Amino acid sequence: MSLRVGIIGAGQAGERQAIGFNSVEGVSICGVADLAAHRAQEVAEPFGAPVFTDWHALLDARPDIVAVCLPHNLHVAPAEAAAARGIHVMMEKPIATNMPDARHIVDVCRAGNVKLTISFVHRFREEMQLVHGWLRNGDLGQPMLARETMNVQWESHLPLWLKSKEAAGGGVLMYSAIHGIDRLRWLMDSEVSQVTAQTRIFEAGGEVENAAAALFTFANGAMATLTTSAPAYPAAPTIWETEVFGTAGMARARTRAWATMSNADGPQHHDTERWSHELGAHYNFARQAAAFVEAIRENKEPAVTAQDGLAALEITLAIYASSATGETIRLGQ
């Protein structure tokens, strides 16, 4: 079954989604929509795809899949319109900026009988696949404690809307660290039941957080911490690190660099930097696209589910609520 993919929003995510989907056998890019025609043109050109400045017109051309790559507060309308036309949805993270919008997106996709996945693309990186494999294989025993550390740079090339509370719904958590929240849920294979957290704004007059520290308890009794920062000054190096400590072993991974594991059988070290060199910096978008296409072709649940999108947003909002109230927030009551 050949599939045609439309891209809505030709920013950095839109470009990566286009490259990712185009790499899947039997898949082509059938159009790119952006209010800024020159941006759409830049992303569309390598694929010879038509350009649209109104995304409704792109959906009227009936792609099989649409990747929604717009600012966070603009995710609802394209999802509604796609679902009404029977078009499957690859939704960039976070699914939305609030739970009613997020649930509405899930509901309309279900009602339209289309598949919905959320672009938690870090899962598809080699180092995360290794850590996940060790956990599922029982090499670490029962996971007890995990730690996510994310220091990212809010470089000048990033879009300005990400610092707008209205457009982005929040700061470093919504744009970046929600990947770490998703990684924790996925690795621990359990739902977060309690969140205690604080957030901080570093920039004078800033509307959204530059940093957060959170403590999570999982339904299976495991615990985890997440610290993240995204200052506006040049903050090299970017660090994305995950550590998991289990009853029988521990694992540690640095995004785009390596993954290590040690247990009674001895240590293992895997250099994962070469994957980016050999397969391209955004090979994880290609793997993610392939997984979604497979779910559509075989009519099965996507690897990253609508529930994954809802849960990651709910946890993110619980961090804000805990910081605002000084209380521990209980989820899934």
Number of residues that bind ligand NAD (CB under 6 A): 23
Query: Can you tell me which of 36, 99, 111, 219 binds ligand NAD, judged by CB under 6 A?
Result: 36
Q: Which is nearer to ligand NAD, 26 or 100 (CB)?
A: 100
Provide the 8-state DSSP code for 203.
S
Sequence-ordered list of residues with C-beta below 8 angstroms from that of 216, at least 6 positions apart, any chain: 184, 192, 194, 195, 223, 224, 225, 226, 315
State the nearest-atom distance from the C-beta of 253 to ligand NAD, in Å. Answer: 17
Choices 12-20, 108-116, 140-148, 201-209; region in contact with ligand NAD by CB under 6 A: 12-20
Choices 5-13, 106-114, 141-149, 183-191; region in contact with ligand NAD by CB under 6 A: 5-13
Q: Which is nearer to ligand NAD, 109 or 140 (CB)?
A: 109
When asked if residue 35 is in the footprint of ligand NAD (CB under 6 A), the reply is: yes
When asked if residue 280 is in the footprint of ligand NAD (CB under 6 A), the reply is: no
Residue labelled with tokens 């979604």: 292
Which pair of structure tokens corresponds to residue 271? 């250099």
Residue of minimal CB distance from ligand NAD?
Answer: 11
State the nearest-atom distance from the C-beta of 160 to ligand NAD, in Å. Answer: 8
- What part of residues 154-193 is at the interface with ligand NAD (CB under 6 A)? 159, 175
Choices 9-17, 211-219, 297-305, 311-319; region in contact with ligand NAD by CB under 6 A: 9-17
Dihedral sign computed on CA atoms, order 115, 118, 121, 122? negative
- What part of residues 42-101 is at the interface with ligand NAD (CB under 6 A)? 55, 69-72, 74, 92-93
When asked if residue 259 is in the footprint of ligand NAD (CB under 6 A), the reply is: no
When asked if residue 10 is in the footprint of ligand NAD (CB under 6 A), the reply is: yes
Which pair of structure tokens corresponds to residue 258? 């390596």
305: helix, strand or coil:
coil
State the nearest-atom distance from the C-beta of 159 to ligand NAD, in Å. Answer: 3
When asked if residue 123 is in the footprint of ligand NAD (CB under 6 A), the reply is: no
State the nearest-atom distance from the C-beta of 116 to ligand NAD, in Å. Answer: 14
CA distance 191 to 107: 21
CA distance 279 to 23: 11
CA distance 209 to 298: 41
CA distance 299 to 52: 30
CA distance 21 to 172: 27
State the nearest-atom distance from the C-beta of 115 to ligand NAD, in Å. Answer: 18
Torsion of CA 58, 62, 63, 65, to 10 degrees: 100
Which pair of structure tokens corresponds to residue 175? 């744009």
CA distance 308 to 184: 11
Binding residues vs ligand NAD (CB under 6 A): 9-14, 33-36, 39, 55, 69-72, 74, 92-93, 119, 121, 159, 175
